[in-house]
Every structure is written in structure tokens, then in C-alpha cells.
């Protein structure tokens, strides 16, 4: 028996699964590559939701991890190492270390100061990437091709790459779902609701929050690896503060703290961007007011609307 | 020779600092008094620059342009407050971030539609054009000095306004504890509106003043906005004094770091490595400064909230 609250994630994943089977989409596989992009950003948004929605830790520098994952691919490829079995661990380890270091400092602060200090670290990562003259500096660098998997060039076809990203999304979603329902996840949520009380019961919140921060950063590093592979291009533009802001917007647009919302938000954001820019060069002129209206009249984002429609309770 | 460069760069740093202060003053009050995260504050600066450019072109005189641009920037700020922002004060910070992010997107695009994507240029007013010799061998543009002087004058006026007048007292009280001020019978909604409009006008003034030396283009407020947030966080949210000191610090550190960082590093590293690290380090300096300040004082240098 499928419970009501499982309908939404199942239908999202079903839609992703059947899309490539529906047709050939021509040679450039335009739609396929857009949906691949949606899934990559969904991974990043889900990882952000882990700290933003469940931990109430508003990170304004999350795009740094996207960039770190991408640069792991770019820098290793530039030295002739195109093997994903080396690139992926490198991307994840560097992301985790960056998260550990910056998280340990950032978590000393609270509220708006946390937002600003994560922004500061994001900007440092951005300027560091700009200064990497050997790897393209400001302009970025083009990759020789997609990563090899155990020596095989299997991700070259759009369709194969699509399923690779899809598998990553499912794995990340499942891992996050397990984390938030575990005892560890309940401590994180407890800290969101009432940190004083959690401390009083005897939890050292710093260690818990640092752990979730590192997990979120690492998962976003994976999204960075995939993004670099999709575009076959790496540049500091992946880490601008606007990109971090867009990630927050995706999560908020979908609805905080449900994981499903992050996927919906990423899809809504990118598809609206793509769709509107087809009709008009000035798509932001419509997208901007849309965001304002969502805040003013649709509390809880798309998930809030979905819950009101189906009458499901708190989907957390 | 190098000393002259130091003076010039110090003046440039001061000018950036003053500019940041004009924008930060409004932002820190809006944040401190209303607990409202306004990402769209940088857009007010851009609007100020565009209005000044438009009215200057229309009247043929920068000062008439400025005189028309300031009330228009004020009016624009008040309209935004009336239609959108006042419905967001009671919401949490994230809702405010989302809505004001939407406003940034909209207005950046709107100026592109109205005034075109190409940068506009505004001529420097005739009497303040050219350069002046400050010291033997030190030539400095007059207009930049005017910006510094007017910024410092406004900082002084603002200081007097905040510490000596009744409205200033209410603003300070509001930054410390807004619900209590409201409970004591002050119309907090009106106070919010005044603070907001005033902040918008100051940001617009900053935009108008730099219009002659920078190119007026869409998105010009975006990066300055982030610097401004750095300033108010270092200074302590809600504190005008903190914003002033932090703005000058950030302006000087950023400007001097960019121009002298590589040559200072050359004393320790070989030239190629110094140039490379210098380029990497210089833009990061202010963020390192902010992280360091927050590490030792998690609520900034002069926090208004007790």
C-alpha cells in the first residue's frame, strides 16, 4: 500500500524515468539535456535543503561546492586524468574538507551572521577560482570530453549521461531521506525548532550541525562533478553569489524541508527560465514578479500548494 | 613615486568607503530597525544612477538632474515599500530574501528595457571637472574629492540626526528593541516608512554621485550590494557608527590590497608566485577581514541589539 505522501516523490521519479523512452528528441537531444540539467540542480538543491530546510542553516555560499566539484573535473582533466573513479572521490573529498573548514568557523555564528559568513567563504572560493590563471582564470576552461568510467567513454551519449545523473539523483535523494528520518536527522530538526532545549537535553549541537553541513557540501560537490561533465566547461561563474542565491530560491520556491520540494523547485526554476527565455529576451521581467507573488500569496512554495491541494499533512 | 601612489590609492579607498557608507547607512537601519533583509537595496543605487543620468540628459545640467533624481529615488523607494516590502516585515528572513531577489531580477531587466543594455555615461559637471594638484606630483580628479567631501558631510549630518534629534532617538530605540518602541505608543509603521525612504534616497544619492565616473549599467548594484552587506555585518547591524567605520575599513583594505598586495608579497615570495598569490588574495581580503571579525565578535564591531 503506497502511502499518500509517497505519491509525489514516486511520480517525480517515474516522470524522470520514462521521459527518455518517450521519443528520440532529435539529434541534439535538446529536451533531454534540459532535464539532465534540472536533475543536476535538483541534487544541489536537495543537498541545500538538508541544511536550509531541516537544519535552518541558511548557507549563502552553497554554489562554492558546485564549483569545487566542477574544478575537480577540470583540473584533473587538464592533467590528463579523465577517469571518474579518481575524479569523483577527488571532488567529494575536497568538497568535504572545504565544508569542514568553513563550517567549523561559520557555525560559531547565528542567524544573519551565518548567512554572511557563508557568503564570505563562497566569495573567497570564487575569487580563488578567478585567480587560477593556469586553469582559464576568469574565462574558465573547456574540457576535452566527458569523464571516462573505468576507461570506457560511456557517458558521451546524452541518453547514457541522462541515466547516470538520474541514478545519482535517486541515490542522493535516498541517502538524504534516510538521514532526515534517522535519529541524527531528528536531532538536526530538533535544533531547528529549539536549539536551547536540544542543548539542555544534552546534545552537543555543534558536532551534529557540522556533520550535516559537511554532508550537504559533499553531495553538492557531486552535483558539481555532473555539471562540469554535462556542459564540458568549467568556470568561476558556477560559484558566483547569484548562483548561491538561485539555489536558495529553488529550495524556497519548491518548499522548505521536504526534499521533494527542492526537486520541484529546481525543475520549476530552470524550466521557467528556459520556457520564458524562448518567448522573450526579457524573461526576468516576468520571472522576478512571479517570485514576489509566490512569497506574498503562496506560502510554503510549491509544496505548500501541493499539501493544500491533496490535504496531506506535514510532509516532513 | 611609490608614496604618491600610496596617497592616490588611499584617496581612492576613501572614496569607495564613503560610497559604501552612503549605501550601507540605509541598509543597516532597515535591517536593524525593521529586521528586514533587503537584497534590493543595491537596486536603489542603480536606480539613483539611472535617474541622475536621465534627468541630467534632460535638463543639460548635472545639478538640476541630481535635484530631480533625489526626490524621484525617494518616491520610488516609498512606492516599493508601500506595495511590497511592508507586507514582508512580519515574514521570516528567507521569504524576504526570495521576494527581494525577485525584485532585483525584475528591476535589472526593467532598466535594460527602458534605458537599453548599453552603459550610459554622464559628463562630470563643468566646474568640478579636471584635476587638482594636492601635492607636488600628486594630481587628483576634483570630482572624486567632491564625492569624498559630500559623503563625509552626509555622514556627519546623519550622525547628528541619529544622536541629537527625536526621530534619531526613535530610530536608535527601534534598532535596539522595535516591539518595545511600538508598545510605548510610537507609530512604528510610519517610522519604518521614513527610515526606508531615507535609506533609499541615500543609496540613490550614492548612485547619482558616481554616475559621472562609473558607467551606468544594469546590474551595477549587485556586487556593491554584497560589499555593503560585508560592511554592515562588520560594523554591527543597526549601527550607523559601525557602518561608517566598517565602510572606510572595507574601502581602504580592498583598494590598497589590490594595488599593493602583490608588491608586499614580493618581499616574501619570488615575483611570479607573488603576482599569482597577490591576484588571488587581494579580492579575498575583505571577506577574510569579515570572517576574522565575526570569528572574534560574532555580532560585529558595534552591535545595536543588546
C-alpha cell at A152: 570506457
* pLDDT score, position A1: 47
What residues contact A285, with CB distance under 8 A and at least 6 apart?
B106, B109, B110, B113
Whether B1 is covered by a domain: the verdict is: no
Span B180-234, pLDDT tens digits: 888 998 888 888 888 899 999 999 999 999 999 988 998 888 888 889 999 999 9
C-alpha cell at A153: 567513454
Short-list B53, B66, B194, CA closest to B118: B53
Whether B151 is covered by a domain: the verdict is: yes
Whether B71 is covered by a domain: the verdict is: yes
Whether the Cβ atoms of residue A254 and residue A264 lie closer than 8 Å to each other: yes
Q: What is the mean pLDDT of residues B286-293?
A: 89
Judge: A296–B298 Cβ closer than 8 Å, yes or no.
no
State how beta strands A233-234 and B131-135 pair: unpaired
* pLDDT score, position A315: 42
Q: Indicate the pTM of the whole model.
A: 0.87
Q: Which helix (H) or strand (E) holds B99?
A: helix B93-115
* pLDDT score, position B111: 92
The architecture in CATH of the region A4-20+29-310 reads Orthogonal Bundle (1.10)
Q: Which residues of A touch B93 (CB under 8 A)?
A: 58, 111-112, 115
Gap between the Cα atoms of B38 and B60, Å rounded: 34
Whether the Cβ atoms of residue B65 and residue B52 lie closer than 8 Å to each other: yes
C-alpha cell at B235: 560594523
Gap between the Cα atoms of A87 and A148, Å rounded: 10
**Please, which residues 12-71 of chain A have a Cβ atom closer than 8 Å to chain B?**
52, 58
Gap between the Cα atoms of A105 and B217, Å rounded: 36
**Please, which residues 85-124 of chain A have a Cβ atom closer than 8 Å to chain B?**
105, 108-113, 115-117, 119-121, 123-124
DSSP state of B302: S
Whether B128 is covered by a domain: the verdict is: yes
| Mutation site for B-interface testing, chosen from A117, A262, A276 by largest number of B Cβ within 10 Å | A117
Q: Which residues of B touch A115 (CB under 8 A)?
A: 93
Q: What is the mean pLDDT of residues B7-35?
A: 90
CATH of the domain at B145: 1.10.3470
What residues contact B151, with CB distance under 8 A and at least 6 apart?
B15, B18, B19, B21, B22, B206, B209
Percent of chain B predicted with pLDDT > 90: 42
Q: Which residues of A touch B237 (CB under 8 A)?
A: 112
Q: What is the mean pLDDT of residues B230-240?
A: 90
Three-class SS state of B2:
helix
Three-class SS state of B185:
coil
Q: Which residues of A touch B106 (CB under 8 A)?
A: 284-285, 288-289, 292
Short-list A159, A168, A213, CA closest to A50: A213
DSSP string, chain A: ---GGGHHHHHHHHHHHHGGGS---TTTTHHHHHHHHHHHHHHHHHHHHHHHTTT----S-THHHHHHHHHHHHHHHHTT--BHHHHHHHHHHHHHHHHHHHHHHHTTS-HHHHHHHHHHHHHHHHHHHHH-GGGTGGG-EE-SSSPBBTTB-GGGSHHHHHHHHHHHHHHHHHHHHHHHHSHHHHHHHHHHH-HHHHHHHT--HHHHHHHHHHHHHHHHHHHHHHHHHHHTEE-GGGG-HHHHHHHHHHHHHH-SSSSHHHHHHHHHHHHHHHHHHHH-TTTHHHHHHHHHHHHHH-TTHHHHHHHHHH------
Three-class SS state of B132:
strand
Q: Which residue of B has its CA nearest to A289?
A: B102
* pLDDT score, position B60: 87
Residue with cell 538524504: A176
Write down the mean pLDDT value for chain B. 88
Judge: B230–A120 Cβ closer than 8 Å, yes or no.
yes
ipTM: 0.81
Whether B49 is covered by a domain: the verdict is: yes
Q: Which residues of B touch A248 (CB under 8 A)?
A: 94, 97-98, 101
Percent of chain A predicted with pLDDT > 70: 94
So where are chain A's domains? Answer: 4-20+29-310
Gap between the Cα atoms of B139 and B5, Å rounded: 10
User: pLDDT band for position A316 (50/70/90)?
Assistant: very low
C-alpha cell at B226: 554584497
Domain that holds residue B83: 19-296
Q: Which of A145-154, A306-315, B53-62, B167-176 is predicted least confidently?
A: A306-315
Q: For chain A, give the longest Cα–Cα distance.
A: 61
**Please, which residues 30-69 of chain B have a Cβ atom closer than 8 Å to chain A?**
31, 37, 39
Number of domains in chain B: 1
Q: Would an 8 Å CB–CB cutoff place A214 in contact with chain B?
A: no
**Please, which residues 225-254 of chain B have a Cβ atom closer than 8 Å to chain A?**
226, 229-230, 233, 237
Gap between the Cα atoms of A70 and B91, Å rounded: 36
Q: Would an 8 Å CB–CB cutoff place A169 in contact with chain B?
A: no
Q: Which residues of B touch A239 (CB under 8 A)?
A: none
Burial readout B219-242 (b: 16 or more C-beta within 10 A, e: otherwise): bbbbebbbbbbbbbbbbbbbbbbb
- Give the side-chain half-sphere CA count within 13 A for A109: 29
How close does chain B come to A277, measured CA to CA in Å? 13
Span A155-186, pLDDT tens digits: 888 888 999 999 999 999 999 999 999 999 99
Over 70: is that where the pLDDT of A3 sits?
no
Judge: A284–B287 Cβ closer than 8 Å, yes or no.
no
Gap between the Cα atoms of B116 and B118, Å rounded: 6
Span B114-166, pLDDT tens digits: 998 889 888 888 888 888 888 787 888 899 999 999 999 999 999 899 889 99
Amino acid at each position: 500500500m503506497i502511502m499518500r505522501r509517497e505519491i509525489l516523490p514516486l511520480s517525480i521519479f517515474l516522470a524522470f524515468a520514462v521521459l527518455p523512452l518517450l521519443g528520440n528528441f532529435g539529434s541534439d537531444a535538446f529536451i533531454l539535456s534540459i532535464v539532465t540539467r534540472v536533475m543536476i540542480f535538483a541534487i544541489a538543491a536537495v543537498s541545500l535543503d538538508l541544511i536550509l530546510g531541516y537544519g535552518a542553516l541558511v548557507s549563502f555560499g552553497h554554489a562554492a561546492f558546485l564549483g569545487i566539484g566542477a574544478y575537480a573535473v577540470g583540473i584533473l582533466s587538464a592533467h590528463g586524468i579523465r577517469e571518474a573513479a579518481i575524479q569523483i572521490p577527488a571532488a567529494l573529498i575536497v568538497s568535504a574538507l572545504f565544508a569542514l573548514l568553513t563550517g567549523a568557523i561559520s557555525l560559531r555564528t547565528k542567524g544573519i551572521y551565518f548567512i554572511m559568513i557563508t557568503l564570505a567563504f563562497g566569495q573567497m572560493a570564487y575569487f580563488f577560482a578567478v585567480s587560477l590563471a593556469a586553469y582559464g582564470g576568469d574565462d574558465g576552461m573547456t574540457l576535452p570530453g566527458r569523464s571516462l568510467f573505468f576507461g570506457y567513454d560511456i557517458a558521451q551519449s546524452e541518453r547514457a549521461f541522462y541515466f547516470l545523473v538520474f541514478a545519482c539523483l535517486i541515490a542522493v535523494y535516498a541517502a538524504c531521506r534516510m538521514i532526515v528520518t534517522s535519529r541524527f536527522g531528528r536531532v538536526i530538526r530538533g535544533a531547528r525548532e529549539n536549539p536551547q532545549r536540544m542543548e539542555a537535553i544534552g546534545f552537543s549541537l555543534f558536532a551534529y550541525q557540522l556533520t550535516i553541513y559537511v554532508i550537504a557540501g559533499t553531495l553538492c560537490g557531486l552535483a558539481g562533478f555532473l555539471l562540469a561533465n554535462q556542459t564540458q566547461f568549467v568556470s568561476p561563474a558556477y560559484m558566483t553569489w547569484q548562483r548561491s542565491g538561485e539555489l536558495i530560491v529553488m529550495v524556497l520556491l519548491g518548499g522548505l524541508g521536504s526534499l521533494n520540494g527542492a526537486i520541484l523547485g529546481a525543475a520549476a526554476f530552470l524550466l521557467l527560465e528556459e520556457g520564458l527565455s524562448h518567448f522573450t529576451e526579457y524573461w526576468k521581467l516576468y520571472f522576478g514578479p512571479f517570485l514576489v507573488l509566490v512569497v506574498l500569496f503562496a506560502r510554503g512554495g510549491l509544496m505548500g500548494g501541493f499539501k493544500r491541494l491533496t490535504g496531506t499533512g506535514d510532509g516532513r | 613615486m611609490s608614496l604618491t601612489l600610496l596617497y592616490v590609492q588611499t584617496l581612492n579607498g576613501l572614496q569607495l568607503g564613503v560610497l559604501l557608507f552612503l549605501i550601507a547607512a540605509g541598509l543597516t537601519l532597515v535591517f536593524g530597525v525593521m529586521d528586514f533583509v533587503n537584497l534590493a537595496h543595491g537596486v536603489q543605487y542603480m536606480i539613483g544612477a539611472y535617474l541622475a543620468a536621465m534627468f541630467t540628459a534632460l535638463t543639460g545640467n548635472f545639478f538640476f538632474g541630481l535635484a530631480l533624481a533625489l526626490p524621484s529615488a525617494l518616491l520610488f523607494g516609498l512606492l516599493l515599500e508601500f506595495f511590497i516590502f511592508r507586507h514582508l516585515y512580519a515574514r521570516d528572513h528567507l521569504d524576504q530574501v526570495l521576494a527581494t531577489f525577485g525584485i532585483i531580477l525584475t528591476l535589472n531587466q526593467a532598466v535594460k528595457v527602458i534605458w537599453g543594455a548599453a552603459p550610459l555615461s554622464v559628463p562630470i559637471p563643468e566646474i568640478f571637472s579636471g584635476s587638482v594638484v594636492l601635492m607636488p606630483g600628486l594630481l587628483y580628479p576634483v570630482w572624486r574629492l567632491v564625492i569624498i567631501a559630500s559623503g563625509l558631510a552626509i555622514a556627519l549630518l546623519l550622525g547628528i540626526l541619529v544622536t541629537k534629534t527625536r526621530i534619531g532617538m526613535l530610530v536608535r530605540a527601534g534598532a535596539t528593541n522595535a516591539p518595545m518602541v511600538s508598545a510605548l505608543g510610537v507609530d512604528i509603521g510610519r517610522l519604518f516608512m521614513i527610515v526606508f525612504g531615507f535609506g533609499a534616497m541615500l543609496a540613490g544619492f550614492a548612485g547619482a554621485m558616481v554616475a559621472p565616473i562609473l558607467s551606468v549599467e544594469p546590474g551595477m548594484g549587485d556586487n556593491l550590494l554584497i560589499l555593503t552587506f560585508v560592511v554592515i555585518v562588520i560594523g554591527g547591524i543597526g549601527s550607523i557608527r559601525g557602518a561608517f567605520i566598517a565602510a572606510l575599513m572595507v574601502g581602504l583594505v580592498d583598494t590598497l590590497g589590490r594595488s599593493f598586495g602583490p608588491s608586499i608579497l614580493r618581499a616574501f615570495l619570488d615575483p611570479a608566485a607573488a603576482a599569482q598569490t597577490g591576484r588571488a588574495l587581494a579580492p579575498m581580503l575583505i571577506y577574510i577581514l569579515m570572517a576574522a571579525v565575526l570569528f572574534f565578535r560574532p555580532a560585529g564591531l558595534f552591535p545595536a541589539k543588546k
